[in-house]
């Protein structure tokens, strides 16, 4: 059986009145790249901070390499990146890297890692003087220096330009190719697509979907068609219908063109037509509301 | 142990990268001594008076390190997202706290050395080896309530507030505690207030240790009360902060 490097078992976490995680269970086996996808405030960062021992769950158990992540020794084989703005501005690149390396038993030699990430020339510069891309590369070096088995990346490329993003993604792929395990969070499907084989969708503190990338990708291309209408007939192309204020309906669909044609053909007396991409959260809420169809994917009737 | 060394080195590096802060902390006591003690022969020419002057400025050096290294330093740590990153590394709270304490001792010593040097070369101040050791111990004891005060500030205020609060506390408490001017010249009302301050009690303790002067009966109880009050505030501030930051 594959070793489980990280797990959340029935974890609940509140911040005051806000329920950040609601009875979440999740396992990360060795060798996987798991993408945690969800909108801001979904609970992704809370999952990560529990995993890294920064916070304690209210109930449930979080395990890192089989132990409590709050015990320092259990964090010795996990690598994570600091936020780009977190680097101590007055320290030099080499000093920051040596400091982090000093926590590990068998770190990658700093000079080697700096060369590898194209930071050799910057080694003696203070981190405050680096460009955004250089800072990000240093962050990646900090995550890798302890030869981790598990790499945890929280929104790794937010604010990066295209080149820097592709460079980072390549590093992550190399790490995985060498047998490493990765947990990466993002609110962009694109980022998760570039890296993960397994996608876990988190929204409102719950795991909505846990599936392969392909399965998830085919399900999130949803649109929301909003109309005002007194009553709606049975509509083939609607995945889920939601009644709004008054006579407004939100119709979630995989094919907005076909749905609009259908509305017209059926001569539905609708007004105020709006078509917008469903947010990830809406797409996944729609997804979970859908019960498995006996034949053909995503052909359900609106319950009007 | 190597983690303590690593973190001590790191905190020291970070501190000396802003040299003006170090210069301020390290040089202020000796500069005060050069300007306000050395030129006055009635003090600098008198072994007991000059030893007392060194003692009180020595306590000022410790006080300033407590407020700035611990007060402002901790507030500064809390304000950056680097701190939570360090907490993801395989290191517990122990080495980090010890590293900060060692840095406090280090910078206090850096402040004391030029002061002691100036005292030895330019004044009649002198202590026996026993008195020097007692004085160092007294400085450490007198520093406890001041240290807690610094920690309470560091954990309850943001940096922008911690800096002025540290300054506002440092000078009045130092002055009224007799760290600049000997309290024998204070008017009665100021002396009464002074007796109740941790800086005054600490000063009296250090001077008693280095010169053999009588220790006022109130000094130790006053230090103890301040240590307990500031200690409770420090623990409360630390707990509240954990609650806020690590929700």
**Is A103 within 8 Å of B85 when comparing Cβ atoms?**
no
Q: What Å distances lie between residue B28 and A111, B2, B57, CA to CA?
A: 40, 33, 9
Weakest-pLDDT range from B43-57, B68-82, B163-177: B68-82
Spans of all domains in chain B: 2-246
The pLDDT, as a whole number, for residue B195 is: 93
Cβ atoms within 10 Å, residue A31: 15
The pLDDT, as a whole number, for residue A284 is: 66
The pLDDT, as a whole number, for residue B172 is: 93
Q: Is A155 helix (H, G, I), strand (E, B) or coil?
A: coil
Q: What is the mean pLDDT of chain B?
A: 88
The C-alpha atoms of residue A286 and residue A255 are separated, in whole angstroms, by 14
Name the residue in chain A with its Cα closest to that of B83: A86
The C-alpha atoms of residue B222 and residue B200 are separated, in whole angstroms, by 9
The C-alpha atoms of residue B159 and residue A247 are separated, in whole angstroms, by 54
Cβ atoms within 10 Å, residue B29: 26
**Is B80 within 8 Å of A86 when comparing Cβ atoms?**
yes
> pLDDT digits over B86-141, tens only?
989 999 888 888 888 888 888 888 889 999 999 999 998 888 889 999 999 999 99
CA angle A257, A260, A265 (to 5 degrees): 120
The pLDDT, as a whole number, for residue A280 is: 63
Question: Using an 8 Å Cβ cutoff, are A92 and A120 in contact?
Answer: no
The C-alpha atoms of residue A211 and residue A149 are separated, in whole angstroms, by 23
- Is the full-model pTM beyond 0.80? no
**Is B87 within 8 Å of A102 when comparing Cβ atoms?**
no
Among the partner residues B6, B14, B88, nearest to A75 by beta-carbon distance: B88
In this prediction, residues B26-50 reach a mean pLDDT of: 88
Structure tokens at A44: 């992704």
**Is A87 within 8 Å of B82 when comparing Cβ atoms?**
yes
Share of chain B above pLDDT 90, in %: 48
Q: Quickly state the pLDDT bin for B58 (edges 50, 70, 90).
A: very high
The C-alpha atoms of residue A182 and residue A160 are separated, in whole angstroms, by 20
**Is B10 within 8 Å of A99 when comparing Cβ atoms?**
yes
- Spell out the per-residue pLDDT of chain A, length 304, in tens: 689 999 999 999 998 888 999 999 999 999 999 999 887 778 898 999 999 998 889 999 999 999 999 999 999 999 998 876 789 988 999 999 999 999 999 999 999 999 988 899 999 999 999 988 888 889 989 999 999 999 999 888 777 778 778 888 888 999 999 999 999 998 877 788 888 889 998 888 999 889 888 887 777 777 889 999 888 888 888 888 888 888 888 888 888 899 999 999 988 889 899 998 776 666 666 665 544 433 333 333 333 3
A249 pairs with which residues across the strands?
A: A227, A243
CB < 8 Å to B6, chain A: 99, 102-103
Rounded to a whole number, what is the distance in Å from the CA of A72 to chain B's nearest CA?
4
Cβ atoms within 10 Å, residue A116: 16
Cβ atoms within 10 Å, residue B161: 12
Cβ atoms within 10 Å, residue B95: 19
Name the residue in chain A with its Cα closest to that of B2: A102
Q: Is A227 helix (H, G, I), strand (E, B) or coil?
A: strand
The pLDDT, as a whole number, for residue A61 is: 96
> pLDDT digits over B185-227, tens only?
899 999 999 999 999 999 999 999 999 889 999 999 999 999 9
Q: Is A153 helix (H, G, I), strand (E, B) or coil?
A: strand
């Amino acid at each position: 059986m594959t070793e489980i490097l990280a797990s959340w078992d029935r974890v609940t976490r509140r911040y005051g009145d806000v329920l950040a995680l609601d009875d979440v269970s999740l396992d990360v086996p060795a060798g996987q790249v798991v993408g945690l996808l969800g909108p801001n405030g979904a609970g992704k960062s809370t999952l990560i901070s529990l995993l890294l021992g920064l916070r304690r769950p209210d109930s449930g158990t979080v395990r890192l390499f089989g132990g409590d992540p709050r015990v320092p020794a259990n964090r010795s084989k996990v690598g994570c990146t600091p936020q780009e703005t977190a680097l101590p501005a007055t320290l030099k690149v080499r000093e920051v890297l040596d400091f982090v390396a000093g926590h590990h038993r068998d770190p990658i030699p700093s000079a080697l890692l700096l060369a590898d990430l194209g930071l050799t020339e910057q080694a003696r510069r203070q981190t405050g003087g680096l460009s955004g891309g250089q800072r990000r590369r240093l962050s990646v070096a900090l995550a890798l220096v302890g030869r981790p088995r598990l790499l945890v990346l929280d929104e790794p490329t937010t604010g990066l330009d295209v080149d820097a993003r592709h460079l980072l993604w390549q590093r992550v792929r190399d790490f995985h190719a060498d047998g490493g395990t990765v947990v990466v969070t993002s609110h962009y499907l694109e980022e998760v697509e570039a890296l993960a084989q397994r996608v876990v969708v988190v929204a409102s503190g719950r795991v909505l979907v846990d599936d392969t990338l392909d399965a998830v990708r085919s399900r999130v291309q949803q649109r929301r068609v909003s109309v005002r209408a007194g009553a709606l007939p049975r509509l083939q192309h609607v995945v889920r219908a939601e009644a709004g204020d008054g006579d407004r309906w939100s119709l979630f669909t995989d094919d907005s063109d076909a749905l609009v044609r259908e509305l017209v053909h059926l001569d539905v007396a609708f007004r105020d037509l709006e078509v917008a991409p469903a947010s990830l959260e809406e797409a996944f809420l729609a997804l979970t509301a859908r019960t498995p169809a006996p034949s053909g994917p995503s052909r359900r009737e609106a319950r009007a | 142990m190597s983690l303590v060394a690593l973190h001590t080195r790191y905190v020291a590096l970070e501190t000396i990268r802003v040299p003006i802060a170090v210069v301020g902390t390290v040089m202020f006591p000796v500069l005060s001594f050069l300007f306000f003690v050395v030129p006055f022969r009635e003090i600098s020419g008198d072994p007991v008076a000059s030893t007392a002057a060194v003692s009180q400025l020595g306590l000022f050096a410790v006080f300033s390190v407590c407020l700035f290294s611990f007060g402002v330093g901790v507030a500064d740590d809390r304000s950056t997202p680097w701190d939570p990153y360090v907490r993801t590394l395989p290191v517990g709270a122990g080495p980090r706290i010890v590293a900060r304490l060692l840095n406090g001792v280090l910078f206090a010593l850096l402040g004391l050395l030029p002061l002691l040097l100036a005292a030895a070369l330019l004044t009649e101040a002198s202590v026996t080896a026993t008195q020097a050791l007692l004085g160092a111990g007294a400085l450490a004891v007198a520093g406890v309530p001041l240290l807690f005060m610094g920690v309470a500030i560091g954990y309850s205020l943001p940096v922008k507030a911690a800096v002025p609060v540290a300054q506002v506390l440092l000078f009045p408490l130092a002055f009224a505690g007799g760290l600049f001017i000997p309290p024998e010249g204070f008017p009665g009302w100021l002396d009464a207030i002074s007796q109740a301050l941790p800086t005054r009690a600490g000063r009296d303790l250090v001077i008693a240790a280095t010169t053999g002067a009588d220790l006022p009966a109130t000094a130790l109880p006053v230090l103890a009360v301040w240590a307990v009050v500031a200690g409770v505030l420090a623990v409360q501030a630390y707990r509240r902060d954990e609650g806020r930051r690590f929700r």
